[in-house]
Amino acid sequence: MADIIQLLPDHVANQIAAGEVVQRPASVVKELLENAIDAGATTIKLIIKDAGKTLIQVIDDGKGMSVTDARLCFERHATSKIKSADDLFQLNTKGFRGEALASIAAIAHIELKTKQAGDDVGTAIVIEGGSVTSQEVVVTPQGTSVSVKNLFFNIPARRNFLKSNAVELRHIIDEFHRVALVHSDINFVLYNNGSETFNLPVSNYRQRIVNIFGTKTNEKLVPVDEDTEVLKISGFVGKPEFAKKTRGEQYFFVNNRFIKSAYLNHAIASAFDGLLKSGTHASYFLYLTVDPQTIDINIHPTKTEIKFDDEHTLYALLRSAVKHSLGQFNIAPVLDFERDASLDTPYNFERKQTNSPTIEVDRSFNPFVADDRPVKAPSPVSTSPSKSYSYKKESTSNWESLYVGLESKSNNESQEFSEVHFESDQTTASIFNDEKEVEQTHTTYQLHNKYIVSTIKSGMLLIDQHRAHQRILYEDFLKNMTIKEAISQQLLFPLELHFSVKEIEILKQLKEDLEHTGFVFSSVLNESVEITGVPVSVPESEVSIILEQLISDVENEVPDAHFSATDLLAKSMAKSLAIKTGQSLKKDEQEHLVNKLFACKEPNVTPTNKTTFITMSVDELDKKFI
Positions that interact with Mg ion (CB under 5 A): 35, 95, 100
Cβ(107)–Cβ(18) under 8 Å? yes
Could you tell me if 449 and 455 are in contact, meaning their C-beta atoms sit under 8 angstroms apart? no
> Strand, coil or helix: what is 117?
coil
Distance in angstroms (rounded) separating the CA atoms of residues 81 and 539? 57
DSSP 298-328: TTSTT----EES-HHHHHHHHHHHHHHHHHH
DSSP strand pairing (451-456 vs 444-447): antiparallel
CA distance 526 to 589: 42
CB of 69 to ligand ADP, least distance (A): 6
First-to-last CA distance in the chain?
Answer: 75
Local structure of residue 202 (DSSP, 8 states): S
Task: Give the nearer residue to ligand ADP in terms of CB position, either 63 or 206.
Answer: 63
The answer to whether the beta carbons of residues 127 and 36 sit under 8 Å apart is: no
Per the CB < 8 A criterion, the answer to whether 473 and 608 are in contact is no
Detail the DSSP E strand segments found in 90-219.
Answer: 109-115, 122-128, 131-138, 143-149, 187-192, 195-200
- Nearest approach in angstroms of CB 297 to ligand ADP is 12
8 A C-beta contact, residue 460 and residue 584: no
Nearer to ligand ADP, 296 or 530 (CB): 296
Per partner kind, with CB cut-offs from 5 to 8 A, the member of ligand ADP, Mg ion, none near residue 65 is ligand ADP
Least distance CB 82 / ligand ADP (angstroms): 8
- C-alpha 366/C-alpha 607 separation (Å) is 36
Q: How far is the CB of 183 from ligand ADP (least distance, A)?
A: 14
Binding residues for ligand ADP, rule: CB under 6 A, are 31, 35-36, 39, 60, 62-65, 73, 78-81, 95-102, 144
| Contact between residue 150 and residue 25 where contact means Cβ atoms under 8 Å apart | no
Give which of Mg ion, ligand ADP, none residue 475 binds (C-beta under 5 to 8 Å, depending on kind).
none
Toward Mg ion, which CB reaches closer, 176 or 236?
176
* CB closest to Mg ion, residue no: 95
Give ∠ CA 431-435-436 in degrees, rounded to 5: 125
Which of Mg ion, ligand ADP, none binds 564 (CB below 5-8 Å, type-dependent)?
none
Query: How many residues would you count in the chain?
Result: 626
CB-wise, 63 or 392, nearer to ligand ADP? 63
39 makes contact, choosing from ligand ADP, Mg ion, none, with CB < 5 to 8 Å by partner type, with ligand ADP
144 binds, options Mg ion, ligand ADP, none, Cβ within 5 to 8 A by partner type = ligand ADP
Q: What are the start-end ranges of the H helices in 290-422?
A: 311-328, 347-350, 413-418
Residue 62 binding target from Mg ion, ligand ADP, none, CB below 5 to 8 Å by type: ligand ADP
List all residues 6 or more positions away from 322 whose beta carbon is below 8 Å from its beta carbon.
Answer: 224, 237, 267, 268, 271, 272, 284
CB of 233 to ligand ADP, least distance (A): 28
CB nearer ligand ADP, residue 2 or residue 85: 85
Q: Residue 123 binds what, of Mg ion, ligand ADP, none (CB under 5 to 8 Å, by partner type)?
A: none
For residues 144 and 465, which CB has a smaller minimum distance to ligand ADP in the complex?
Answer: 144
Distance CA 249, CA 234 (A): 16
Nearest-CB residue for ligand ADP: 95
Shortest distance (Å) from residue 73 CB to Mg ion = 9
Of the candidates 325, 334, 312, 245, the one whose C-alpha atom is nearest the C-alpha of residue 285 is 325
Q: Is the CB of 80 or the CB of 313 nearer to ligand ADP?
A: 80
81 binds, among Mg ion, ligand ADP, none (CB under 5 to 8 A by kind): ligand ADP
Min separation Cβ 138 and ligand ADP, Å: 16
Residue number, 32 or 221, with CB nearest to Mg ion: 32
Q: Which is nearer to ligand ADP, 35 or 549 (CB)?
A: 35
Query: Shortest Cβ distance from residue 91 to ligand ADP (Å)?
Result: 11
Inter-residue contact 463 to 454 (CB < 8 Å)? yes
Q: Which is nearer to Mg ion, 100 or 172 (CB)?
A: 100
In the list Mg ion, ligand ADP, none, the entry touching 98 (Cβ below 5 to 8 angstroms by class) is ligand ADP
In the complex with Mg ion, which residue's Cβ is closer, 127 or 551?
Answer: 127
Chosen from Mg ion, ligand ADP, none, partner binding at 612 (C-beta under 5 to 8 Å by type): none
For residue 464, list its beta bridge partners: 451
Q: How far is the CB of 208 from ligand ADP (least distance, A)?
A: 21
Partner in contact with 96, chosen from ligand ADP, Mg ion, none, beta carbon below 5 to 8 Å by kind:
ligand ADP
Helix (H) or strand (E) holding 354: none
CB 80 to ligand ADP: min, Å? 3
